[in-house]
Amino acid sequence: MTDQSTRTIPHWIDGAERVVAGSRTAPVFNPATGAVQAEVQFADDAVIADAIASAERGFRVWSQYSIAKRQSVMFAFRELLNARKGELAAIITSEHGKVLSDAAGEIARGMEVVELACGFPSLTKGEHSENVSTGIDVYTFKQPLGVIGIISPFNFPVMVPMWFFSVAIAAGNAAIVKPSEKDPSASIWLAKLWQEAGLPDGVFTVLQGDKQAVDGLLNSPVVQSISFVGSTPIAQYIYENAARTGKRVQALGGAKNHMLVLPDADLELAADMAVNAGYGAAGERCMAISVVLAVEPVADDLVAKIRERIGRLRIGDGASTPEPDMGPLITGVHRDKVAGYVDVAEADGADIVVDGRGFQVDGAEDGFFFGPTLLDKVPTSSAAYREEIFGPVLSIVRVQSYDEGLELINSGRFGNGTAIFTNDGGAARRFQNEVQVGMIGVNVPIPVPVAYHSFGGWKQSMFGDAKAYGVHGFDFFTREKAITSRWLDPAKHGGIDLGFPQHD
C-alpha cells in the first residue's frame, strides 16, 4: 500500500516529466527495508502514442544534426555523467538493493559504451570504390533507423540501457526506454542529464509501464527496432512479435553459466572467483556463475574453501557504512522464488552446505534478504540445476573428467557465459574452441566483453542476429545505402544499350 505522501515516478516525454491522473501504478520498494518508497505510473495507449510521436519528431531533428554537433552532445553527456555518477549509484542502490560499489561498477561499465559511442564518426563511415566500371563509382553510407525501443531489466537499470541508447543516439536515432517497473527512477535521472547535455526534446524518452507498454512498442509501425535483456521466455516473445512486424531485434535471454575447474587449477583463485561471480549483486546477474563443475579429485577441497569464504561475507543494506559485501534481492516475491529452488534441490538429494533461507539482517527484518547458499552434489536432473535461479545460490556438480564437464555445458539450453579454471594452456585453448557458449572466460569468471567488442550469447540466451554494443551495435542501429554513380563526360555519348551491364 502507498500513502498520499509517496512520490510518483513519471514518464519522460517531449523533454519533460509526464504525470497522468488516474493512471495504473505499481509500488517501488526499498529492498533493504521492504518499505514502499514510491509508485511508478503505467502507460496507457494514449501515453504510448504520445511517447512514440514525440520520439518521431525528435528523430527528425536529431538525425539532421551534423556529425560534429552530435558528437559534442555525446561528449557533454559523458562529462556530466562522470561528474555526477555518485548520485546515480545511490538511486540504483535504493531501488535495486545492490551495494554502492557494485552500483558504481555498473555505471562504469555502461560509461565504457558511452565513451565508445563518442567516437561514432569512425564507426559509421561508408566506403568508396572509384571507377568500378568505366566512369562508374560505387560508394556506401550509413543512416539511422529512426525510433528505436529499449526494454530494460531490473538487475542493471543503467548499464543495460546504456549498452543500447549510447550507440543508437550517437548514430542519429531517437530512443524510447521502457525500464523495469521495479527500479524505474534511474532512467528519469538519465533523461534529465541528456537534456542538460543538449539533446533535443523527444530524442530520449522514458515510457514507464508493463506488458501494455511493451506491446505498444512491439506493435507500432514507427518503432524500427527493439533491444531487450531479460528472461528467455520474454526474449522469445519479444523476438517473435517484433520480427512479425518487420522490426530489427536483439533480445538477450536467460543463462545458466558454468565454471569448469580442472584438477591443475589454482583452487584459492577458483574459490575466490566462484564466490565473487556467484554472490555478487546477490546473484542477480545474467553473467553470474551459478554452477561449478569440479573435476575430481578437487571437489571436497574446493567446497571447503568456498564455504570458508562464505562465512566471511557481510550482508546488509547496500547503502550502509561500512559497506556490506552483498545486499538484498529485488522483491519479497523473488526471494521466495529463490528459496523454492533450494527446497527443490534439497528434495532432489543435494547437500545443503550453506543455507541462506530465512536469513535476516538485524534492524532490517522486513528487507528482502537471502543469505549466500552453497549446494553440493546437485543432481543434473533437478530444476535447481537446469533452470536460472537468479539469486545467491551456487551449485557444485562433481564430474570425473574435462569431457564430462564439457558435455554438461554443451547439452544445456543456454549459452550465455562460461569459464574454465586451469593452468594448462592446451586445455584452455581446447575449451574455448569446443564449448558452445557465446562468452568465455579463461581464469576469468564473468567474461563480459569490453565496449569495443560485443556482448551476446548463443542458443536460448540470444534471439536475433546482432549482439549488444561494439561494431554489432552500430551495424544494428544503422542502415546502409549503396550508390552506383556515373557522371557522363560531356564530350562522349553512351548511346542506348538494353543488355545487362557488363565490365568492359
Q: What is the pLDDT of residues 193-241, one digit of tens each?
A: 999 999 999 999 999 999 999 999 999 999 999 999 999 999 999 999 9
User: In terms of domains, do 246 and 265 share one?
Assistant: no
User: In terms of domains, do 133 and 193 share one?
Assistant: yes
User: In terms of domains, do 191 and 280 share one?
Assistant: no
User: In terms of domains, do 397 and 281 share one?
Assistant: yes
The answer to whether the beta carbons of residues 287 and 324 sit under 8 Å apart is no
The answer to whether the beta carbons of residues 201 and 173 sit under 8 Å apart is no
pLDDT tens per residue across span 381-392: 999 999 999 999
Residue 503 pLDDT: 64
Looking at the domain assignment, is residue 493 inside a domain?
no
User: In terms of domains, do 410 and 471 share one?
Assistant: no
State the average pLDDT over residues 66-89. 98
Angle, alpha carbons 406-445-78 (nearest 5°): 135
Looking at residue 473, its amino acid is G
pLDDT tens per residue across span 420-442: 999 999 999 999 999 999 999 99
Residue 488 pLDDT: 84
CATH number of 230's domain: 3.40.605.10
User: In terms of domains, do 111 and 203 share one?
Assistant: yes
State the average pLDDT over residues 98-120. 98
Neighbour tally for 138: CB within 10 Å: 15
State the average pLDDT over residues 350-372. 97
Looking at the domain assignment, is residue 2 inside a domain?
no
State the average pLDDT over residues 169-186. 98
State the average pLDDT over residues 127-131. 96
Grid cell locating 163: 549498452
For residue 3, is pLDDT > 50?
Answer: no
Reduced to 3 DSSP states, what percent helix, strand and coil does the chain have, rounded to the nearest 5?
40, 25, 40
User: In terms of domains, do 273 and 339 share one?
Assistant: yes
CATH number of 282's domain: 3.40.309.10
Q: For the chain, what is the mean pLDDT?
A: 96
pLDDT category of residue 489 using cuts at 50, 70 and 90: confident
Residue 497 pLDDT: 72
Grid cell locating 150: 529499449
For residue 15, is pLDDT > 50?
Answer: yes
Q: Give the range of the structural domain holding residue 284, as residue numbers without chain letter.
A: 257-442
User: In terms of domains, do 355 and 475 share one?
Assistant: no
Looking at the domain assignment, is residue 35 inside a domain?
yes
pLDDT category of residue 320 using cuts at 50, 70 and 90: very high
For residue 504, is pLDDT > 70?
Answer: no
Q: How many domains does the chain have?
A: 2
For residue 2, is pLDDT > 60?
Answer: no
Q: Which residues are catalytic?
A: 286
Calculate what percentage of the chain has a pLDDT beyond 70.
98
For residue 405, is pLDDT > 90?
Answer: yes
User: In terms of domains, do 416 and 465 share one?
Assistant: no
Residue 1 pLDDT: 38
Looking at the domain assignment, is residue 333 inside a domain?
yes
Rounded-to-integer distance, Cα 49 and Cα 43, Å: 10
